[in-house]
Every structure is written in structure tokens, then in C-alpha cells.
Structure 1
Amino acid sequence: MKKYFSLLLIFSFITLQAQDKTTETSQEFQDNLNLEYADKEKSPLTDEDFKTFKSLDFYPINQKFIVEAKFIRTKKEKVFKMKTSTSRLPEYKKYGELHFTIDGVDCKLNAYQNIDLIKKPGFDDYLFLPFSDLTSGKETYIGGRYVDLRIQKGTTWKIDFNKAYNPYCAYNHEYSCPIVPLENDLNIEVLAGVKKFHD
């Protein structure tokens, strides 16, 4: 029963994250994320960690990690079941590819649509951008991080990695979180967004 309740909380969190986060500045996003984690009703923290929580640990905001990416829409993608940290298999579909360069390194990330979430009013343009990078397992959560996106106009899209956040599993093993697909592993250090919670 607890696991099912956890799944509901995750879905609520994704919904909350998707609502207005893409229009926030990097600093506003981080400040609001701290407020959510400090709220007992919204926080994924364990009771023990919640007692001493003051702030998440973020990299300094860096404009280098607000990138312009070339968006390529993929067609005829089939729905697939994305692996999670539990036996849960939510349905996703690849929406497109985002190509960009950081420090001279060419990068590509796939953006996905959650089939259940896009059926909810106001979320038909929500995209899920999970990624891992060379900081994963060192300075950041070993399981990778997420960025929320909305479908943007044209073929030049903005990705703000200063808004990268951890899955709930980074804080509490009771949650079920999507595992970053292997094709979204970056061969660079993304020194932006939230760091790991425990050393």
C-alpha cells in the first residue's frame, strides 16, 4: 500500500514540476524546489532527513549550461515501457532528439512523453528529459537527473541544466523512479543543477 501511495506522490510531483517550472529563472526554480522539499506535505525526504533539512546542494548557476539545442522530431515512434527502480513499467514514447554542444563536445539527448501524463489537461506538451553524465555517482546522484521541458516552437530549443533535479529515489528508496535510458548518458560533466543528497 505504501508503494502505491508513493507512486501517487511521484505523479503529483511530476505534475507540479511541469506546471510553471519552465518559465522560471534558474534561481527561482532552485528556490521553489527548496521550498517544496521543506514542506512536509510535498517533500520526498525521510522523516529522519526532514528533521535536519535546510537546503538542497546546487552547483553555482552557470549560463554555460543554458544551451541552445537543435530539435529533431522523430516520427512513428512506438510506445515502450520505461524501466524504473521497481517493477513498475510506465509507458513512454520518444518525442524527439536534442543536439547541442558543451565545451566543444557534441551531445544528444532524447526527449520523451509520458503517455499517462500527456492525457491530463494542460500537459499535452510536457516532455521528460532524463540524463546522466560524468558527474553521476561522484558529485551527483548515481542514477542520473531529470529536466522538465515543454514543447517549444521552431527547431532551436533551450535546455537549462541549472534546473536539473534528482528523482525522488535519491532521497527515499520507497519511491519508484524512471531509470535514465542508456542513450541519454552524456560524455561530459554537467556542473549544474542539484548535487547528490548524501555523501
Structure 2
Amino acid sequence: MNNFLLLFLLSFSIGCAQDKQMLSGETDWQKKMNADFKDATKSPLKDKDRKNFTGLDFYKFDSTYVVTATLKRTPDAKPFKMKTTTERRPDYVQYGVITFTLKGEEYQLNIYQNLGLLDKEGYEDYLFLPFLDDTNGEGSYSGGRYTEARIPDGDTIVIDFNTAYNPYCAYNEKYSCPIVPRENYLATEVRAGVKAFKKH
């Protein structure tokens, strides 16, 4: 009887582990993303998509896409209204220009601050990096993706494109999402981060 019970508990725990495995990811960041997308209180997914959700599609983690960039601050940049997918125009400012090498080529991107977040706890040093690349519409979301960083003490900043994620409006049109500025186009494939979402 004890052996039978042990076998049952073992198979039950393996079954639970397999259920959890469906929502797991390769990295802690991927696991958290999947958990948040399954959580009705945090998920941007429509109810019907969340019900069948077993995890986002990610490119395989690749350390090539973790880059150390030079940050040139732009303290004289004027705040502006960033275009979004709706009529909303949130206030942003260009915080600086980052320069980095990826696969032997040098690239530059503008990095921004959301002025509406500056007073929010935990966002005082938050930087927003929207970008376009040659995977858009060919594996990743056609409208480009976002990643984030924190203001560094010095003039170098680490950008991890493995944490590139889709705007929420890629999952649900009710959201208002910043449109990636054209000047933040990378003429290369960034095969890292979240792939395009396949709706059910």
C-alpha cells in the first residue's frame, strides 16, 4: 500500500512539474514573463488567449546580444510627445545616445526617459529603448520591440537584447503603445528576446 501511495505521489508531482514546465523558460526573465502573462491581474492577453497560454515564443538566449554600450548623455534634449498606437501622446525625453558593436558592426540608438514615470518609485533611473530590426515581420513583431535599462553611474551601459519584448498592443489592441522612432532602426537581425505572438 505504501509503495502504491509513493508511486501515486511521485507520478502526481511529476505531472505537476510537467504542467509548470509548460510555463517555464530558459532564463529567469523568460520564466517571469511567462508567469506574468498567465496571471490575469498582470497579463495583456485577451481572456481567450490567456486560457490557452502555455508560454511565449522566445529566441534562444544568446550572449552575443548582451552588449556593453558607450552612453553619451544628451542633457539639452527637449521633451517631446511620443507617438503611440492611439491618440495618447506621453511625454518623453531623449536621455542619450548609445553606441555599441554587434557582430563586428557598430550601431547607435537613442535611449529615452518616460517623464511620466520619473516620480514613480522604482522608475527614477528607468530608461526605455525601443528599436526596430530586420527580424520585424519575419519572426518578431512587425512593429518593433522594446527593452529597458537603468541609468549607470559612468558612461557605459549594458543592454541585453535577450530581454526585448513586444508592445502590449501586439497582444491586445486596447493598449496604447509607443511607436518605435524610425531612427532607432538596426540594420541587422536581432535574434533575441520575444518572438511574434501567434494568436489562437
TM-score w.r.t. length of structure 1: 0.85
- Aligned-partner Cα distance in 1 for 2:158–2:121: 24
- Aligned-partner Cα distance in 1 for 2:31–2:50: 17
Please name the residue that 2:166 is paired with. 166
- Aligned-partner Cα distance in 1 for 2:113–2:119: 10
Which stretch has the larger CA shift, 102-111 or 187-196? 102-111
Aligned 8 A contact 1:105 1:188 in 2: no
Task: Quote how far apart the aligned CAs of 1:75 are.
Answer: 2.3
Aligned counterparts, 1:11-22, within 5 A: none
Residues matched between the structures, number: 174
Aligned counterparts, 1:130-141, within 5 A: 130-141=130-141
Identity %: 52
Task: Quote how far apart the aligned CAs of 1:48 are.
Answer: 1.4
Aligned counterparts, 1:65-144, within 5 A: 65-144=65-144
Which stretch has the larger CA shift, 61-70 or 121-130? 121-130
Aligned counterparts, 1:180-195, within 5 A: 180-195=180-195
- Aligned-partner Cα distance in 2 for 1:127–1:93: 10
Q: What code does the residue aligned with 1:121 have?
A: E
Please name the residue that 1:59 is paired with. 59
Aligned 8 A contact 1:132 1:143 in 2: yes
Q: What code does the residue aligned with 1:131 have?
A: F
Aligned 8 A contact 1:68 1:158 in 2: yes
Who wins on radius of gyration, i.e. which is larger?
A: 2
Q: What code does the residue aligned with 1:88 have?
A: R
Does the residue aligned with 2:128 lie in a helix, a strand or coil? strand
Q: Please, which runs of 5 or more residues in structure 2 have no aligned partner?
A: 1-25
TM-score w.r.t. length of structure 2: 0.84
- Aligned-partner Cα distance in 2 for 1:101–1:59: 20
Task: Quote how far apart the aligned CAs of 1:121 are.
Answer: 2.8
Root mean square deviation, CA, Å: 1.2
Q: What code does the residue aligned with 2:116 have?
A: D
Please name the residue that 2:178 is paired with. 178
- Aligned-partner Cα distance in 2 for 1:124–1:36: 23
Task: Quote how far apart the aligned CAs of 1:185 are.
Answer: 0.8
